[in-house]
Amino acid sequence: MKFGIKQLASETIIYGFSTIIGRFINWLLIPTLYVRTNAIDENGALGQILAFMAILLVLFTFGLETGFFRFSREGKQNDVFKTSVLLLTITSSLLIIFTFLFVPSLNNILADGKYLHSLYLAGIIIAIDAFLSIPFANLRLKNKAVKFATIKLINIGLLIFFNFLFLLIIPAIISKYQLSNKFVLLYNSYDNIFYIFLSNLIATISMIFFFIKDLRNIKGNFDFQIAKSMFKYCLPILIVGLTGMINQNSDRLMMPTLTESGGLTKTGLYTINFKIGVLMSLFTQAFRYAFEPYFFKIREKGKEGYAKIMEYFIFAGMLIFLGVTLFMDIINIIITDKYSDGNIIIPFILIGFLFYGIYYNLSLWYKLTDKTIWAIYFGVTGMIISIALNIILVPRIGIIGAALALFFGYFVMVIFSYLRGQKVFYVPYNLKRIGLYFVIGFIIYFIDKQIFIDILLLKYLIKIFFLAIYFVVFMKIEKLLLFNK
């Protein structure tokens, strides 16, 4: 196939195995383990802290991943790598210092002031994750997808193990044998949220050991001119990443204060159902890992390929949308009935994240033309819309208002980026075909909502049939054969 799409697809599958499958397993901790071990308001506090962490991670990574890919292609790859690593060493060290200085004050703002020790751990986790972003980016640049996937999966395995150890195994042992000693007193002095972050910290630290050899043997020199150029290039990317994360996480940060009563409880209800919609985000992130190095390598020669990739991406995203929404009753078994009232937000979250993925696809035009200043305009616009709609809608219609705010923030970013990008770096996107994929997907979704069948086997056979129809229609439109001849 032309344009290197097969290579892109194969790398997406490998990255997806570690990112989608790995994070899917990690993701399952919230709707399976956490809903059964934590109270709803505790999950609300967890969601609020995780939202704050996501924003800080973008801030302290500074968009250097993209800058690393951009400047590595111009030669001096060793200098670019060493410069990037040293920059993040400095910023991560500063973050740890800031954590111990300012967490006591931050604790009075977040999660009702009950989780001081968890916030300390959160700051250290972010510092390590930010530092490791360049070593991981270096693996992607060198097409070492298998090593990348292996490290990620080991991280996920450790995270799961320690979550079960701290939240289930140790409490079960204490309860069964009626233990009462200094260890038990120490263990009981911390809450579940602390042990969730402790598990995360242990798993995060473990990743450092895989890069010790690479970090010890860094070749090249710190280049001040490269650092200056990277900061200039990455600043707009940082802002769009930051505004994107604010767009994505402002709902859980603001919800406790925007609701009159039971703020953390409503945030918990929203957080658990939001996590279902995050499945779409996991797909787009796996795609991004392969797509970013790809479009920097292809550049001008790949415009038709970019257009075709967009079609495949939207088809796959709508397939995920249908897979989740058609089988919502099965998902409710996972998250339990006490969270099912929040199901109404899931379709909006899924489509919102799909549009964020579309926006990322469109972003190639300003990255390839070094017009990353436009990322600021789009990101700030989306952030303002999202925050404004949260403030307006959440007090009036509750959690559905937050989901709508997320969707419209990303939707507007897509429209603006497309209109401007086609003038600067034209890509022949087939809008009729893309629109058709959306229309067919939504028609199937609404038809399914009108069908009520008590016979479970027949009910699920019909749902599977609907998914098959969507897939067959895609194959027909794209004029592809299921098996290459």
**Cα 27 to the chain's mean position, in Å?**
11
Q: Convert the pLDDT of each residue in 349-404 to its tens digit.
A: 999 999 999 998 898 888 778 787 888 898 899 999 999 999 999 999 999 999 99
Per-residue pLDDT at 371: 83
- State residue 454 phi and psi, 5-degree precision: -85, -25
Query: Both tokens of residue 165?
Result: 């150890």
For residues 463 and 327, the answer to whether their CB atoms sit within 8 Å is yes
Q: Do residues 274 and 47 touch, judged by C-beta distance below 8 A?
A: yes
Give residue for tokens 């799409």: 5
pLDDT digits (tens, 9 = 90+) for 115-166: 999 999 999 999 999 999 999 988 888 878 778 888 988 998 899 899 999 9
Amino acid at 276: I
Task: Confirm if 45 and 114 have CB atoms less than 8 A apart.
Answer: yes
Token digits for 461? Answer: 């056979």
Token pair 């303002």 is at which residue? 384
Sign of CA dihedral 274, 275, 281, 283: negative
Q: Would you tell me how many other CB atoms lie within 10 Å of the CB of residue 290?
A: 22
Rounded to whole angstroms, how far apart are CA atoms 430 and 12? 23
Query: Cβ-count burial of 442 within 10 angstroms (0-12 exposed, 13-18 middle, 19+ buried)?
Result: middle
Distance between CA atoms of residues 199 and 346, nearest Å: 28
Tell me the C-alpha distance between 353 and 175, whole Å.
42
Token pair for residue 383? Answer: 């952030």
Cα separations in angstroms, 214 against 53, 222, 239, 246, 479:
27, 16, 30, 33, 46
In sequence order, the 6+-apart residues with CB closer than 8 A to the CB of 463 are 326, 327, 448
pLDDT at residue 100 in the model:
93
DSSP string, 229-268: HHHHHHHHHHHHHHHHHHHHHHHHHHHHHHSSS-HHHHHH
Residues 261 and 395: beta-carbon distance below 8 Å: no
Query: Quick one: tokens of 346?
Result: 């899931």
Structural contact between residues 412 and 247, judged by C-beta atoms closer than 8 angstroms: no
How many C-beta atoms surround the C-beta of residue 74 within 10 A?
A: 10
Residue 243 vs residues 228, 247, 384, 387, 406: alpha-carbon distances, Å = 23, 6, 9, 10, 12
Helix axes 116-141, 192-208, angle to 10 degrees: 30
Structure tokens at 228: 């200056």
Contact 377, 416 (CB under 8 A): yes
176 class by beta-carbon count within 10 Å (0-12 exposed, 13-18 middle, 19+ buried):
exposed
Residue found by looking up tokens 């280049």 in the block: 223
Residues of the chain with pLDDT under 70: 1-27, 31, 289-290, 292-302, 480-485
For the chain, the straight-line distance linking the first and the last C-alpha, in angstroms and rounded, comes to 13
